[in-house]
A and B are shown apart, each in its own frame.
Chain A
Amino acid sequence: MPEKTIVDASVPNAGRIYDYLLGGHHNFEIDRRAGDQIKELLPFLPKAMRLSRWCLQDVARTLTEERGFRTIIDFASGLPTMDHIHTAVAPGTTIIYSDHDPVTVEYGREILGDTPNVHYFQADCRRPEELLNRSEVVEILGGDRHVAFVYWGVSMYMSDEDIAHVARVLYDWSDEGSCMAFFIAIGNPEVPAFAKMMEIYRQMGEELYFRPLEVFKELVKPWHSDELGYRTVNEWHGIEVEMSEEELEAFGIDYGVYLVK
């Protein structure tokens, strides 16, 4: 996200548009106008975003209660509202949230207050080493490298090179048995409305990236999926979401996965 737009309320901001499309109030008129433009092009988009966000609590429970992780490091966290990871984890879990947007970080810290074991730092999800090398984070982890990473709802902001970099850095940094929960947005830039949305983001200085699932699988190697494999969002929620043929062509079907080392 370009620095110039970060605390600037006079230009639309991708994070605030995301918040608006999800029904939040952490946005401004300029974001809502851009959001409405996007919604008009792709009416299914807010549904697709909700389907992704709703998985977070499942992810939190699965990682801590079923798989026993005591530390979760979440990238591009957004606002830690009451649906977020720290509300659904097993007691005693340490959560490290992070986001590139300093306003989101400040807001997030206020929401969290003095919630025990939950921390929030400013960091770029595309450069996880910056977060992991922060002295505060090093101290919090106390040498623990058996952790669960979460990259949820952010793949569209990451180029192929970014994803490959993240996968490599986190694989090298973490201990055997670590895990990375990843949400993969599948979009089709060939569809005119989708291409137009990408253009709107481009004008805001935000490039969006989509790739087929098979390409993603290659990028994240040597991480491999767990026994559950890559699951569609419908499978995550156990619901059938009706999509028109046009929506299916534009959005494809998004996936979530637990990658393991």
Chain B
Amino acid sequence: MNTELTITPNLLRRVGASGETITSGLCRALRETTFSNRMLIAPRRLDEIGKEQAAAFLGFLEAEDEGAVRERGRQLAFEGLGHRSILMMAEALRRACRESANPGDEALPTLLEAAGRYVNALLEGYMAGREEDILREQERTREAYLRARRRQAGQA
């Protein structure tokens, strides 16, 4: 069980002020891994995902709702985001947090811990989503084969 984070209003304000830096870091990471995604995600969608993720992280700092983050990760898997993209995005988030703090900033460990928890929950949801997706597609493929075989046999 994770202990509650001590995100002070002051820290929230400061991170909120770095929102654009976080967003641009996430968008850059996603653009760099454009081709690692499944065919479902067109390049123009990447910036939208970057913005959504930045907003979600800021929301997490306030609400600390790891369940919502897991669900977000799950949806990203369904949408077709590749694992390289999500790992790069996680790294970009950590980097943006480090860069948003001043040297020797007392709040930095808390912020990094928050980023770590966010990333863990996101990855956990993502992996669950990938597994769910693969199993669902496996079942669909099996069903489709059976039906096609039956249809062909009926036509023979």
Contact = CB atoms under 8 A, between A and B. Distances in A.
Interface in B138-156: 138, 140-141, 143-145, 147-149, 151-152
B39 A103 contact: no
A28 B80 CA distance: 19
Nearest to A44: B35
Contacts of A215: none
A104 B138 CA distance: 13
B66 interface: no
A58 B43 CA distance: 12
Given A46-B35, A102-B151, A111 B42 contact: no
Nearest to B38: A23
A47 B35 contact: yes
B80 A23 contact: yes
Given A25-B134, A25-B138, A107 B39 contact: no
B38 A24 contact: yes
Interface residues of B, number: 27
Interface residues of A, number: 30
A108 to B, nearest CB: 8
A79 to B, nearest CB: 9
B40 interface: yes
Contacts of A238: 43-44
B144 A237 contact: no
Given A7-B152, A110-B144, A22 B39 contact: yes
B82 A23 contact: yes
B100 interface: no
B37 interface: yes
B33 to A, nearest CB: 12
Contact of A82 (B40, B82, B141): B40
Contact of B42 (A54, A103, A106): A54
Nearest to A105: B148
A102 B44 CA distance: 33
A81 B41 CA distance: 11
Contacts of A25: 133-134, 137-138, 141
A253 interface: no
Interface string B16-40: 0000000000000000001101111
Interface in B97-156: 133-134, 137-138, 140-141, 143-145, 147-149, 151-152
B42 A26 contact: no
A105 B147 CA distance: 10
A56 to B, nearest CB: 8
B148 A7 contact: yes
A45 to B, nearest CB: 11
Nearest to A23: B38
A114 to B, nearest CB: 16
A58 B149 CA distance: 35
B39 A49 contact: yes
A215 B37 CA distance: 33
Contacts of A49: 39
Given A25-B134, A25-B141, A107-B140, A54 B147 contact: no
Interface of A: 6-7, 9, 22-26, 46-47, 49-50, 53-54, 57-58, 81-83, 102-107, 110-111, 237-239
The 3 tightest CB contacts between A and B, nearest first, are: A107-B144, A23-B38, A106-B144
14 contacts: A7-B149, A9-B145, A22-B39, A82-B40, A82-B79, A103-B144, A105-B148, A106-B144, A106-B148, A110-B140, A110-B144, A237-B43, A238-B43, A239-B43
